[in-house]
């Protein structure tokens, strides 16, 4: 198979953590080489361009009328305006694939797996588009997803529920028969941890801070699984979420709280009460601050609340990866420690998972001796329905960006398994005004389809099965200020 790999721009620059361009090109080449023979197109020509968000953004504007970057684009030769060469070589030209390495890296970080897996998946996804597969209709989407899983299996790359990359042989073994998956052997359970009751520690740890300082990102990074949704918008977390990290010497139960802020509606009042109430119930507190933001009234308000608690407070200075000069860190540490007697101060990057072991070591120092409160394979107290609703809300926040900051709520109206093993989920996205409903649906339903496609991928990863996601959008006027509706949505003291 002839594979032409290019770069746009030619001097494409990448962060060192992403790996060399040569390594990334080899990942792409292998994915194409494996895919081609499976569909009898090994005598074809495929062009793959590795690029950045800026270039793929411009292509989206020009060819799709979409004003944002995406991860991958495919242009099949049959759609090309270039004329066929009658006397040319016998090699069939399949088309072009364009992949944004910046998008691939961001998505690998978000979902907690390797760049190899993300780049392989995007290449396979692009190849399937060239081969005629699509995902605009539900049936087509399910067929394409099945093919993607099959090829990723052939590549020997898959992903377990905790976001770790494993060879396929180490997961449940899957084979294909007449287009269906048949499980041959389940993954053997891991041995139970052998704990020493004399030294084992356990306790509850509140994670507090202003909105958008990275509390949910920190929780997800600590437990190694995406439970709390993440967004660059403040006040994304609305309820207290319990996440469990079990290690050989300790079990830490983290309580991810809404950001403490000045409430503007009854939902905001509930969120602040949930966060402040948590401080009375825990063994230790992590106060997360943003290293790139100056100390302000919000931080002062939280420190005043902390003065009333006798619990040890660990200061976690987050987002070190965004500091241009590491010498900026010392004044930040000095400034905070001059205002409060912290049990410890730990600089971290939750996104880059930098110095999280140091943070855990400090937490353990302040936990009492005790047994495991929860089974070692338990990671959260949240029911699946609630996590599914939150995953849908996350994608809606991501897609609507600034147009509908926090007027969105999601209610799972039905969630039941089908006879074929799939899961049927019917969910309603609620907004406060008719104009917001139109934004969420988008032109000809395009935005709602995109929200559904992205949410479905996460939900299938969570549930471990195919998911049919039936999304609706409805209006509930001013729901954030109506007590009865807030209770219906689960916001109760």
Question: Which positions ≥6 away from 228 have C-beta within 8 Å?
Answer: 215, 216, 219, 220, 237, 241, 243, 256, 390
User: The pTM is what?
Assistant: 0.47
Cα(431)–Cα(452) distance, rounded to whole angstroms?
16
Band (231; pLDDT cuts 50, 70, 90): very low
H-only helix segments in 243-342: 266-278, 297-306, 329-337
259 is in an annotated binding site: yes
80 is in an annotated binding site: no
258 is in an annotated binding site: yes
49 is in an annotated binding site: no
The token pair at 283 is 């063994």
Contact 5, 28 (CB under 8 A): yes
298 is in an annotated binding site: no
369 is in an annotated binding site: no
200 is in an annotated binding site: no
Mean pLDDT of 101-120: 85
Contact 262, 248 (CB under 8 A): no
Sketch out the chain's domains with CATH numbers: 2-185 (3.40.390.30), 201-365 (3.40.50.300), 384-488 (3.30.300.20)
Q: What phi, psi does 263 have (nearest 5°)? A: -70, 145
Buried b (16+ CB within 10 A) or exposed e, 333-370: beebeeeeebebbbbbbbbebbbbeebbebbeebbeee
Band (208; pLDDT cuts 50, 70, 90): confident
- Which pLDDT score, from 0 to 100, does residue 174 have? 27
Rg value, the chain, Cα: 24
471 is in an annotated binding site: no
Mean pLDDT of 478-488: 58
Cα(138)–Cα(74) distance, rounded to whole angstroms?
20
- Which pLDDT score, from 0 to 100, does residue 404 have? 57
Question: Could you identify the residue written with the tokens 């800026």?
Answer: 54
User: Is residue 7 classed as helix, strand or coil in its secondary structure?
Assistant: strand
- Which pLDDT score, from 0 to 100, does residue 273 have? 55
> Is residue 269 predicted with pLDDT exceeding 90?
no
Band (84; pLDDT cuts 50, 70, 90): very low
Mean pLDDT of 375-401: 78
51 is in an annotated binding site: no
212 is in an annotated binding site: yes
- Which pLDDT score, from 0 to 100, does residue 417 have? 85
* Beta-bridge partners for 74: 97
199 is in an annotated binding site: no
Cα(90)–Cα(79) distance, rounded to whole angstroms?
19
Band (197; pLDDT cuts 50, 70, 90): confident
Give residue-wise pLDDT tens across range 417-471.
888 878 899 998 888 888 888 888 888 888 899 999 988 888 887 777 888 999 9
Give residue-wise pLDDT tens across range 116-125.
888 999 999 9
- Which pLDDT score, from 0 to 100, does residue 477 have? 74
211 is in an annotated binding site: yes
> Is residue 340 predicted with pLDDT exceeding 80?
yes
Contact 257, 237 (CB under 8 A): yes
89 is in an annotated binding site: no
Task: Report the percent of the chain where pLDDT is more than 70.
Answer: 75
* Residue of higher predicted confidence among 278 and 200: 200
Average pLDDT taken over every residue of the chain: 77
321 is in an annotated binding site: yes
Length of the chain: 493
Mean pLDDT of 66-93: 65
């Amino acid at each position: 198979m002839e594979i032409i790999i290019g770069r746009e721009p030619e001097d494409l620059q990448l962060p060192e953590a992403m790996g060399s361009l040569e390594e990334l090109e080899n990942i792409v080449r292998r994915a194409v080489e494996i895919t081609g023979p499976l569909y009898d197109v090994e005598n074809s020509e495929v062009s793959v361009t590795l690029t950045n968000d800026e270039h793929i953004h411009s292509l989206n504007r020009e060819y799709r009328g979409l004003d944002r970057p995406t991860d991958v684009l495919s242009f099949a030769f049959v759609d090309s305006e270039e004329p066929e060469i009658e006397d040319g070589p016998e090699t069939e030209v399949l088309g072009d694939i364009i992949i944004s390495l910046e998008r691939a890296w961001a998505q690998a970080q978000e979902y907690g797996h390797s760049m190899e897996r993300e780049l392989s998946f995007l290449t396979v996804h692009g190849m399937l588009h060239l081969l005629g597969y699509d995902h605009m209709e539900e049936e087509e989407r399910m067929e394409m997803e099945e093919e993607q899983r099959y090829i990723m299996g052939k590549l020997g790359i898959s992903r377990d529920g905790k976001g770790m990359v494993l060879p396929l042989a180490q997961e449940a073994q899957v084979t294909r028969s007449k287009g269906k998956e048949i499980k041959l052997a389940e993954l053997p359970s891991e041995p139970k941890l052998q704990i020493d009751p004399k030294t084992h520690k356990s306790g509850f740890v509140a994670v507090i801070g202003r909105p958008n300082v990275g509390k949910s990102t920190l929780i997800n990074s600590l437990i190694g699984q995406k439970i709390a949704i993440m967004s660059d918008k403040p006040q994304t977390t609305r309820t207290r979420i319990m996440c469990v990290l079990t290690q050989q010497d300790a079990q830490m139960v983290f309580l991810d709280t809404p950001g403490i802020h000045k409430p503007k509606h009854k939902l905001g009042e509930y969120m602040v009460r949930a966060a402040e109430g948590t401080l009375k119930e825990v063994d230790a507190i992590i106060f997360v601050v943003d290293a790139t933001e100056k100390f302000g009234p919000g931080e002062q308000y939280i420190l005043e609340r902390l003065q009333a608690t006798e619990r040890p407070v660990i200061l976690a200075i987050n987002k070190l990866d965004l500091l241009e000069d590491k010498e900026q860190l010392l004044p930040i540490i000095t400034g905070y420690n001059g205002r409060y007697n912290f049990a410890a101060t730990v600089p971290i990057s939750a996104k880059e998972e930098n110095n999280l072991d140091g943070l855990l070591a400090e937490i353990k120092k302040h936990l009492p001796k005790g047994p495991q409160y929860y089974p070692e394979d338990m990671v959260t107290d949240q029911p699946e329905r609630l996590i599914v609703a939150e995953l849908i809300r996350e994608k809606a926040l991501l897609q609507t960006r600034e147009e509908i900051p926090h007027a969105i709520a999601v209610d799972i109206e039905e969630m039941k398994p089908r006879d074929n093993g799939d899961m049927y989920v019917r969910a309603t996205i609620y907004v406060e005004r008719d104009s917001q409903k139109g934004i969420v649906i988008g032109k000809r339903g395009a935005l709602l389809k995109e929200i559904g496609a992205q949410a479905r991928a996460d939900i299938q990863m969570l549930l471990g099965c195919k998911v049919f996601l039936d999304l609706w959008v409805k209006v509930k006027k001013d729901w954030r200020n109506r007590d009865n509706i807030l209770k219906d949505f689960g916001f109760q003291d």
